[in-house]
Structures are given as structure tokens and as C-alpha cells.
Amino acid sequence: MNNDNCVFCRIANGEIPAHFVYNDDDVMAILDINPVAKGHMLVIPKYHAKYYHELPEKYAKKIATTLLLVTKALEAENYNILQNNGKLAGQEVPHVHFHVIPKPSKDEGLGIRFPSKQETSEALTELAKEIKEKIDKLL
């Protein structure tokens, strides 16, 4: 792992202890040290990138299968999967990680606000076209 100043790279290297629930060559899942609710876990690729979109596809795929594993093991009726990108979006540790956060009651777990806005059908059509063109270039 390639960043000596990164807490998750250091955990992956065995330099800092953590409570592992899953570990392989490409990904690890650990308990969050300051859980929002009991069972709060982090799924972390063993690749130092700040943003999700910077990950090689191999790691994105491994994260997906690991999220399936840990959420099955969690056996929670209600839970959130959260992944923050960038400081403004709430990212504190600049190494990609997915939070798996049980929501055992209204007051425990994540409090989510969805400040939705109205948008015209024409504006959505135009935006979908723009994004689709960019996706087509990436394929």
C-alpha cells in the first residue's frame, strides 16, 4: 500500500491495528472506530485513491462483492451504505471507503436529508443526454 500518511493504507499494511471482519489481497472490511451505530463497518480497497471514480475496475468489483458479504452477515432490517467523496461531501479520510451503517431505530444510525428540488422534464432530458454522451465515450 502506497501512502505512508494514510490511516487505511497503514491498517492494510498491518502498521495500525483494526477490528477486521473480512480481509483478502484486494479489500478489507473493518469496524469503524467511532461507530454511528453498533455494527458500523467500513469496506476499504487496498489501493490508495481519494475518489471512488479513481479506482481501477478490479477494486470496484471487489468492493461490490464484499459489500454483499458484509451486509448479508449484518442481518439488519434497516441499514445505509454510504460513500463520501471530497471534503464538502463529508469525506474525512482521503482513501476510498464504503460505510455500512445499521439503522436500528429512528434516532440511531444515519440521519439523512434529501433536499429535493423540482426540475422540468426538458432540463432532465438535456442533462441525461449530456451524461449519456460522456458515458458512451467511456465505454
Catalytic residue numbers read 97
Cell of 41: 463497518
Taking residues 28 to 57 in sequence order and writing x for each that binds ligand AMP by CB under 6 A, - otherwise, the string is: --x-xxx-------x---------------
Residue 12's Cβ-side half-sphere holds a number of Cα atoms within 13 Å equal to 25
Q: Name the phi and psi angles at 80, rounded to 5.
A: -120, 145
Q: Name the phi and psi angles at 112, rounded to 5.
A: -110, 140
What 3-state DSSP class applies to 83?
A: coil
Among 23, 48, 55, 91, binds Zn ion (CB under 5 A): 48
Asked if 6 is part of the footprint of Zn ion (rule: CB under 5 A), the reply reads: yes
Among 40, 46, 62, 95, binds Zn ion (CB under 5 A): 95
User: Given the complex with ligand AMP, which of 7 and 73 has the nearer CB atom?
Assistant: 7
Among 12, 18, 43, 67, binds ligand AMP (CB under 6 A): 18
- Per DSSP, helices labelled H in the chain are 7-12, 57-74, 121-138
**Rounded CA separation 68/137 (Å):** 30
User: Given the complex with Zn ion, which of 48 and 104 has the nearer CB atom?
Assistant: 48
Interaction site with ligand AMP (CB under 6 A): 7, 16, 18, 30, 32-34, 42, 84, 90-93
